[in-house]
Structure 1
Amino acid sequence: MTTGHANARAPIAWGLVWGAIQAASPLGLWWLDAATVYALSLALIASVYIGFAVADGRPTVVAVETTIAGAFVVVAAAGVTGSAWLLVLGLIGHGFKDLWQHRTHYVANTRWWPPFCLTVDWLAATIIAIEIAAGLQLHR
Structure 2
Amino acid sequence: MSTTTTHAHERPNSSVFARRPLATGVAVGIGSLLPHFFLTPQASLGFAAILIALIAGIYFGFAVMNGSSRDQMVEFNVAGLFAVAGLLGLLLWPVLVAIAYFAHAAWDFAHHNRSRLSLVRIPSWYVPWCVVIDVIVGIGLLVIWSRNGLI
Instruction: Provide TM-score, normalisation by structure 2.
Output: 0.78
Unaligned runs of 5+ in 2: 6-17
Change (3 A) 1:39 1:45: same
Contact 1:14/1:116 (CA < 8 Å) preserved in 2?
Answer: yes
Contact 2:21/2:129 (CA < 8 Å) preserved in 1?
Answer: yes
**Considering only aligned residues, what root-mean-square deviation do their CA atoms show, in Å?**
2.5
Unaligned runs of 5+ in 1: none
| CA deviation map 1:65-112 (0-9, x unaligned) | 011000000000111122221011100000000011123372123211
Aligned to 2:73: 63
Q: Give, in angstroms, the shift of residue 62 of structure 1.
A: 0.3
Total equivalences in the alignment: 136
Q: Comparing 45-54 with 12-21, which one deviates more in the overlay?
A: 12-21
Q: Which aligned segments of 4 or more residues in structure 1 are displaced greater than 4 angstroms?
A: 5-9, 27-30
AA paired with 2:138?
A
Q: Give, in angstroms, the shift of residue 28 of structure 1.
A: 6.4
AA paired with 1:34?
S
Q: Give, in angstroms, the shift of residue 53 of structure 1.
A: 0.5
Instruction: Provide TM-score, normalisation by structure 1.
Output: 0.84
Give the whole-Å Cα distance in 2 for the aligned partners of 1:43 and 1:71: 8
Larger relative helix fraction: 1
Aligned to 1:4: 2
